[in-house]
Chain A
Amino acid sequence: MRFLTLSEAIAGHVADGACVALEGFTHLIPFAAGHEIIRQRRRNLHLVRMTPDLVYDQLIGMGCASRLTFSWGGNPGVGSLHRLRDAVENAWPGPLELDEHTHAGMAAAYCAGAARLPLGVLRGYIGTDLVAANPRIRSVECPFTGERLAAVPAINPDVTVLHAQRADRKGNVGLVGIVGAQREAALAARALIVTVEEIVDELPPAMNSIVLPHWIVSAVVLCPGGAYPAYAQGYYGRDNAFYQRWDRIARARDSFSDWMDKHVLGTGDHRGFLATLRGAA
């Protein structure tokens, strides 16, 4: 475990062509890290995430990805991810290969990845055309009962990137609130980068809460506000108004590119990104 700047962590752990999972189910989405990947102009990434959300809309629209493993690709409560749609419908800015699942299937694939098993098994994908659309959704026969069960290949990202509330000085990471599949995505990965709101001497008493121990963490990055416009429970709320505004920003290629130029490419780091939005408010 090393304490790095975000720029160092992305430069050191996210290579062109890598399989990268930025996880976080609505809560604790690592936006700052996604923006840094865009600034460093990574290409041909295989992005993995249950709910692509705005951060993947941005990565896809900026041409960082060639493949997407996902289970629900919308702007929650608002509508479409327009950049994801443009990539799938019109191959803009480039073609995007889809590896599409259900939430239960991806959860099983992450659990298998964390356990270093080759496949996840579930009683799922029943009666859905996804099975015909995705050759990676298959079935196995239970050797005990003979039941046919759905099988999905384990997900083992080259690197998983998370945002969390706190790390201590050894690099143990604490998450509270909605934790999605972050623990599984962390343990499934070959490398783990965690951006945090705060570095503390000691994590708060954490019986039964999610702790990622320091020896599975590759890098900790101090990055206050790193989940914005998503949220960090106990630190700041989800900017629902921004999620609604994004629908208009991302609808057209020009307004999207202008926004990304101004707020992401035109800023050196996350502090700079937040400052541009503060100016706009």
Chain B
Amino acid sequence: MSDCTRDEMMTVAAARQLWDGCVCFVGIGLPSAACNLARLTHAPDIVLIYESGTIGTRPQVLPLSIGDGELAETASCVVPLPEIFSYYLQGGRVDVGFLGAAQIDRYGNLNSTVIGPYGHPATRLPGAGGAPEIAAHARRTYVVLKATPRSFVERLDFRTSAGFLEGGESRERSGARGGGPQSIITDFGLLAPHAETRELDLVALFPGATVEEARAAVGWPLKVSAKVERLDPPTGLELEALRDLHARTREAHSRSVQLPA
């Protein structure tokens, strides 16, 4: 598997954490690739919900935006957006939510709002979108984020979405009903919350990745679980399905659109 990229390893690792029949709230980018890879391999009956209102969608190619027409055309139904957030997400009907961010801290709290102070930001990021309520209500969340000391930080510039807040029981006290982040999928492997402190521990490494690499990439003193799993490399089948999906997507997105008459 020396020819397989870290991006591919992350996508495959994310896909493997999804099970057949699970109801999954999908974000664009790597999560969308992972969810569709799961659907094309071991989880054909996974239910993919995109926040644009498409339920049970089975896109042939990955969407560029959260609301591409492909998602509506291949959905089992399309509902208005307020329904998605109130009846499905807040209603507790979502098993897994995927989240990304610009920053994460040791308790899995996320920042996707600003770098610098809110009133005078050095970098204005896109903002919350659906994330705070996905973080609160999905039965569990998976976070996908590349690790650098700028993204895995001691202290967030802004807390957009709740992970385990200050750790321990603080999430339960907040009123968040979902289970919070269960897995952080990053360049070197996986982090998962400690059962009591809820601090993110290193629990698994990709082939070729090391504990030292993980420690160097994380901006807080990273704790390492007593037992660190060595993840299996992607199988030939997984890689083939993923590369086909990306190739179809590239081809579809490069097709020129006929300007309306």
Contact = CB atoms under 8 A, between A and B. Distances in A.
A73 B160 contact: no
B58 interface: no
A74 B162 contact: no
Contacts of A177: 69, 72, 78
A126 B136 contact: yes
Interface residues of B, number: 62
Interface string A223-255: 011001101110111111111100000000000
A104 B85 contact: yes
B122 A178 contact: no
A26 B65 contact: yes
A211 interface: no
Contacts of A233: 69, 72-73
Interface string B160-183: 111001000001001111000000
A77 interface: yes
Given A77-B28, A129-B158, A181-B81, A108 B86 contact: yes
A103 B72 CA distance: 19
A71 interface: yes
Contacts of A224: 260-261
A124 B133 contact: yes
Nearest to B77: A208
A184 interface: yes
Interface residues of A, number: 70
Given A89-B124, A107-B81, A178-B78, A127 B129 contact: no
Given A89-B124, A103-B129, A240-B253, A180 B261 contact: no
B75 to A, nearest CB: 9
A89 B85 CA distance: 30
Interface string A69-88: 01111101110110011001
A38 B122 CA distance: 28
Interface stretch (B36-44, B46-54, B228-236): B46-54
Interface in B122-136: 122-133, 135-136
Given A25-B53, A89-B121, A104 B90 contact: yes
Nearest to A177: B72
Contacts of B220: none
Nearest to A87: B124
Given A71-B129, A88-B121, A241-B254, A129 B66 contact: no
Contact of B260 (A89, A181, A228, A242): A228
B159 interface: yes
Interface string A254-281: 0000000000000000000010011001
B69 A237 contact: yes
A214 interface: no
Interface string B12-32: 000000000000000011000
B5 interface: no
A89 B122 contact: yes
Contacts of B130: 72, 102-104
Contact of B132 (A89, A124, A179): A124
Contacts of A178: 52-54, 67, 69, 71-72, 78
29 contacts: A25-B66, A71-B129, A74-B126, A76-B65, A76-B67, A89-B124, A100-B113, A102-B128, A103-B128, A103-B130, A103-B133, A123-B177, A124-B90, A126-B135, A126-B174, A126-B176, A127-B159, A178-B78, A179-B81, A180-B80, A181-B80, A181-B82, A228-B259, A232-B260, A236-B257, A236-B259, A238-B64, A240-B65, A240-B257
Top 10 A-B pairs, shortest CB-CB distance: A26-B67, A127-B162, A225-B260, A74-B126, A76-B65, A72-B129, A77-B64, A107-B82, A104-B85, A104-B133
Interface of A: 25-27, 50-51, 70-74, 76-78, 80-81, 84-85, 88-89, 100-104, 107-108, 110-111, 122-130, 133, 147-148, 177-181, 183-184, 197, 210, 224-225, 228-229, 231-233, 235-244, 274, 277-278, 281
Given A103-B130, A124-B136, A126-B176, 20 more contacts: A51-B129, A71-B127, A72-B130, A74-B125, A77-B65, A80-B124, A80-B125, A89-B123, A107-B86, A122-B86, A123-B90, A127-B162, A178-B69, A180-B52, A181-B82, A183-B80, A225-B260, A228-B260, A233-B69, A242-B257
